[in-house]
Structure 1
Amino acid sequence: MNKQNIKEKLNKFGREKEPFLFIISYDFTKVYIEKLDTLSSFIKYDINSKKTLPKSCKIDLKKFPLTFEDYKKKFDFIQNEIKSGNSYLLNLTAKTKIETSFSLDEIYENINSDFKLRVDTKEDNFVCFSPEKFVQIKNNQIFTYPMKGTIKADIQNAQKIILENQKELAEHTMVVDLLRNDLGIVGKNIKVDDFRYVEKVNAGEQELYQVSSKISADLEKNWCENLGEIIVSLLPAGSITGTPKKKTVEILKNIEDYERDFYTGIFGIFDGENFDSYVLIRFIEEKDGELFYKSGGGITCDSKVEYEYQELIDKIYLPF
């Protein structure tokens, strides 16, 4: 299904006020679009439900990340692209082999998250528990919530440190500016309603503070009829690519050396009146009997390679 077909199908369901679910891969090569009342058994999801209590079970997770030397080669390549003026912010990601005694089904059932998704087919086998909303539409307004900036919550004065960090401020500001421009494609009266607020996220054996912003725009009253146009025009998400978006996507494709697939793609639900969606991060997939956890972070000219490498590893967790 190409982009045009995706848009047409989403527009059709929106126009008919038909509740549906969709999952779109990062590069648009894979897509699931299904009516909620006939949803396939191989897709499970939980969205905007009340949080479960943290589990007391021991976190069983071993990580086998790429070496620091290999990461530094990618990091240095990106820094050269930034110095050449080809990009200002790039979200560099990698896949990490992991080992755990938990199956993907057990991870899905026990995960402590506002949102979780499980897909199990012959072609795709993954679980996602994303903390980052993509866009939300209600009362003829569209909202997006870019998330940039992570720090361990047990660090003394952690919130103050991350909010005063100039690299983090620059990175977050660039993403907010990019998504303001993106919303300007589909809406009017763009506003930054809340700039750089901090939320605590359960990351398994530790807690993290993550920095987000809230941006809004007004839509036409008939936005449901153009839902496909709205969603596809905003992809791929700015927070997991960079700026300028088109050139940055090309650079990332040349340096990441793996297929993101559904990782950093989009999941969404339309209930017939309102729309909610998430960026597919915090993502584990099974390939040929092995598990891989995909993670990453934003790189700017002020980034420190040791910090970025550690952040990539810290984002590999199971929030039980």
Structure 2
Amino acid sequence: MSKQLIKDKLNKFGSLKEPFLFVLSYDLNKFYIEKLSSLPRDIKFQINENQDISNMTKKIDLQKLPISFLEYKKKFDILQEEIKNGNSYLLNLTAKTKIKTSYSLDEIYENTKSKFKLRFKNKNDNFVCFSPERFVQIKDNKISTFPMKGTIDATIKDAKKKILANKKEMAEHTMVVDLLRNDLGIIGSNVRVENFRYIDKINAGDKELLQVSSKISASLESNWHEKLGDILISILPAGSITGTPKKKTIEILEKVEDYERDFYTGVFGIFDGKNLDSCVMIRFIEEKESQLYYKSGGGITCDSEASLEYEELLDKVYLPF
């Protein structure tokens, strides 16, 4: 039911060329769609900002209280069995980490440096997101998506060379690119990979990370804005935070993760009346009953090592001040 409501509202605002913000949860059971002219004070966003990482704060007040490695390893081993049985080839395993910090969510929003930022608060949800990952951008009747898969500490010697040569990372990234090529083929034509495995530098608080991305694009019909809801619903949830094959992988993750992703790994974005830009809601902190939780994860393939994946899960818990 919520999918149809989302489709109808997005199609309506798109047809009217009404500028609006949309915030969609991972499972599409929750959504917020509102005209930019009517946004309340508790909802703030920045889209496609230049990310200045030149003035990084080296010591940041952030304590992590994650799930144990043993608990993570149990989930990891179940996914490896699913891969061996041919039920999935790539699964994006996520978890929530309790954190403690003296910063409020408002202060985190104001001080974090990221390409996409969202501060969202209503009677049921209270979170901040500072995502480096664009989901889709639509401009001049062309839709482009930018999956991020592959992360390495930038201080490691020859980090760029190592991440690009890593067999596991190459396989994971290639599978996501293939999945998203198929997704764009559902809604567009002339699908092509414009840029395969390029490197972005990400401010991760007390360190810098190198992140591997690709750009995939397709052509849309000139009246695409009238079908915004159909377009977005057809390609959600994002392939980079689920896996492949998508439907079966989502079913497996739902059982193994054993918690609600909720708005985490959903998407938010704006339609300005002419173009659309959006991001995947990773780098995500929510407040529940006065406790802060940071949700993070990474892709698991047959070549993954549990200890390294656990380390990546924790490396992605940071504040990019």
TM over 0.5: yes
Q: After superposition, what is the alpha-carbon deviation per residue over 1:259-290, rounded to whole angstroms, capped at 9, x for unaligned?
A: 00000001010000000000000000001111
Q: Which residues of 2 match residues 164-243 of structure 1 at below 5 A? A: 164-243=165-244
- Classify the secondary structure of the residue corresponding to 1:200: strand
Q: Which residue of 2 aligns with 1:46?
A: 46
- Classify the secondary structure of the residue corresponding to 2:131: coil
Q: Give the Cα–Cα distance (whole angstroms) in 2 for the partners of residues 15 and 27 of structure 1.
A: 25
Q: Which residue of 1 aligns with 2:119?
A: 118
Q: Give the Cα–Cα distance (whole angstroms) in 1 for the partners of residues 70 and 43 of structure 2.
A: 38
Q: After superposition, what is the alpha-carbon deviation per residue over 1:189-215, rounded to whole angstroms, capped at 9, x for unaligned?
A: 001000000110000000000000000
> Structure 2 length as normaliser, TM-score?
0.98
- Classify the secondary structure of the residue corresponding to 2:155: coil
8 Å CA contact 2:47, 2:269 repeated in 1:
no
Q: Which residue of 2 aligns with 1:30?
A: 30
Q: Which residue of 2 aligns with 1:9?
A: 9
- Classify the secondary structure of the residue corresponding to 1:129: strand
Q: Which residues of 2 match residues 225-264 of structure 1 at below 5 A? A: 225-264=226-265
2:86 maps to 1:85: yes
Q: Give the Cα–Cα distance (whole angstroms) in 1 for the partners of residues 312 and 144 of structure 2.
A: 27
Q: Give the Cα–Cα distance (whole angstroms) in 1 for the partners of residues 21 and 264 of structure 2.
A: 17
Q: Give the Cα–Cα distance (whole angstroms) in 2 for the partners of residues 153 and 58 of structure 1.
A: 17
Paired AA for residue 93 in structure 1 = T
8 Å CA contact 2:58, 2:205 repeated in 1:
no
Give unmatched runs, 5+ long, in structure 1.
none
> Structure 1 length as normaliser, TM-score?
0.98
8 Å CA contact 1:54, 1:112 repeated in 2:
no
Q: Give the Cα–Cα distance (whole angstroms) in 2 for the partners of residues 10 and 122 of structure 1.
A: 23
Q: Which residues of 2 match residues 67-146 of structure 1 at below 5 A? A: 67-146=68-147
Q: Give the Cα–Cα distance (whole angstroms) in 1 for the partners of residues 16 and 50 of structure 2.
A: 30
Q: After superposition, what is the alpha-carbon deviation per residue over 1:114-150, rounded to whole angstroms, capped at 9, x for unaligned?
A: 2110012221000000000000000000000000000
Give unmatched runs, 5+ long, in structure 2.
none
Q: Give the Cα–Cα distance (whole angstroms) in 2 for the partners of residues 54 and 264 of structure 1.
A: 28
> Which has the higher mean CA deviation after the structures are superposed, 283-292 or 33-42?
33-42
Q: Which residues of 2 match residues 294-309 of structure 1 at below 5 A? A: 294-309=295-310
Q: Give the Cα–Cα distance (whole angstroms) in 1 for the partners of residues 178 and 9 of structure 2.
A: 30
Paired AA for residue 10 in structure 1 = L
